Amino acid sequence: MMVRWFAPNASLRHPRRVAMHTPAPRRFLATAVALLALTGIAVAATPSVGEPAPAFKLQDQDGKWHSLSDYKGKWVALYFYPKDDTPGCTTQACGFRDNVFAFDKAGAVIVGVSVDDVASHKEFAKKHGLPFTLLADADKAVAKQYGVL
């Protein structure tokens, strides 16, 4: 696809007018390069398969503290979601709820993490009958450790 940076109007073909439009591709390119650089930083911070998962210590919906070491020797389905009680996040959580017996049978525990607070998690778990742990990552530190944000 070819993009023209000047209008067919003869008055806009003046070199000064055309020159006013030429920085746009450079700005776009600079923005794209900056975004790619930031993406590279985020990808570099993401844990790789086979490496130990980053440690954490967060409170659940009942105020109890949990750390990754609490689950040593177990399979953990650690999932991150943006916000309690939103349509997509509720569907995801209820999907885990509806399949909790399959996870139990496989010897895995389900742990959800979002940036909501303990009180929000408590209400969300109660409202939807979620039988698993929801951890509050209000400062987003764990989400950043795992490369989610």
Q: Which position has the higher pLDDT, 137 or 13?
A: 137
Give CB contacts under 8 A, 24+ apart, made by 123-128: 123/84, 123/85, 124/61, 124/84, 124/85, 124/90, 124/93, 125/61, 127/85, 128/90, 128/93, 128/94, 128/97
Select which of 58, 89, 115, 125 is catalytic: 89
Q: What is the pTM of this model?
A: 0.70
Residue ranges covered by each domain of the chain: 10-45, 57-145
Rounded-to-integer distance, Cα 21 and Cα 61, Å: 54
73 φ, ψ (degrees, to nearest 5): 85, 0
pLDDT digits (tens, 9 = 90+) for 27-49: 555 565 555 555 544 444 678 88
Domain 57-145 belongs to what topology? Glutaredoxin (3.40.30)
- Beta carbons of 85 and 117 less than 8 angstroms apart: no
Which tens digits make up the pLDDT trace of 107-144?
Answer: 999 999 999 999 999 999 999 999 999 999 999 999 99
Query: Is residue 89 annotated as part of the catalytic site, yes or no?
Result: yes
